[in-house]
Structure 1
Amino acid sequence: MTEDQRWAAAVHEAGHAVVAHALGRVTTSVQIDDSGGGFTIRDAEHSLPLVAEKILPIVPDNVTILFGGQIAEMQVFGRVISRNIKTDNFQIEELLAFILDDRDRLHVRENCREWAAHILRHQQDGLDRLARLLCKRGSMAQDEILEILRTSWSGVGYLVG
C-alpha cells in the first residue's frame, strides 16, 4: 500500500470514529490494514439486533456513522479515494432496506449524509489528529481515541467518556 492509500484509509476510518463519537457511541478500536482497508469497532451495545422491529430505531445512527468515512474523505481530499466505500455503501443499503417506503428511505439517507457532514465540518481538528496518529500507528485503542477526541472536541454531538 502506498503512503497516499494509507493516509486515505486513515482518514476514512477516523471519519467513522469521529461521527460515532458525536452520536454517543463508543469506538473500542480503529485499524487500517496493508491492503488499504480498515475497520472501526464500536461498542456491542449498539450493534444490530436480530429482530427487525428493534433495528429501525438505530438505522439512522448507524447509517450516519457509515457515511462518516466517505464524508471525511470528501472533506480532506475533495473526493472519495479509498476502497472502503464499497463495503460502507453496501451496509448502508442493507440498513435502509428496513425502511419500506422509498421516500422515507431517501429522506433518511440524505439526512444521515448531511448530519455526518455537519459533524465532520465541526470536528475537523479531531478528524485530522485521529487520522494522522492512525496513519502512523496502524491501529488505536479506545483510550487513545477518546483522549484525542476529548482534547479536540468542538461541541457538536455528544462527548463520550
Structure 2
Amino acid sequence: MATVSEVGELLIQKQQTITSAESLTAGLFASTLAEVSGISAALKGAFVTYSPEMKEALIGVPHILIQRHGVVSAQVAEAMARGAKYQTKADWAVSFTGVAGPDELEGQPAGTVFIAIIDDHDEVHIAQGHFAGNRQVVRQQSVQQALDELTNLLSKN
C-alpha cells in the first residue's frame, strides 16, 4: 500500500502539480495530501463537487453526461478530472465519484466508486472499486486506491 508521503514526495521531486475533484470523498484526498510537508509546491487546489449542480458549475461536467450515465460512472469521473485539470492547469488530476452508502444511488450499490486520474501526458486512467464498510471506510479506501494508482503512475513517468 502506497503512502501519502510517497505520492507527495514523487510530485515534489518531479516538480509536478496535482488537483482533485471530489464527490463522495468530500475533500478527503486533498486533506490527506496536505499532511505532506512541502506539498504546497505540488497541490494546486481541489474541488468538492458533491452535487450534480456543482459538478456542472465548478468544473464543467456536461449536464447531458450526468443525464446519460449518472453521477456514479466512469464517464463523469473522467469529466470531473478533466474539468479540475483545466481549471487549475495542474499536471495531474484525480477525481472521485461513487456511493459511500448506506443506500444505493442510481442503481449502484453502496461501496461502488469510480476514480479517474489524468496524468501529465493527458492519458486517462480509470479505476473502479467496490468497497465494504461504513461511509468513512468507503471514503478512506477510495483515497487509498487513488494513492496506490498515483504511486504506480508517478513511478513510471
Same fold (TM over 0.5): no
Structure ranking higher in helix proportion: 1
Q: Which structure carries more relative contact order (alpha carbon 8 Å, separation 6+)? A: 1
Structure ranking higher in strand proportion: 2
TM-score by length of 1: 0.28
TM-score by length of 2: 0.28
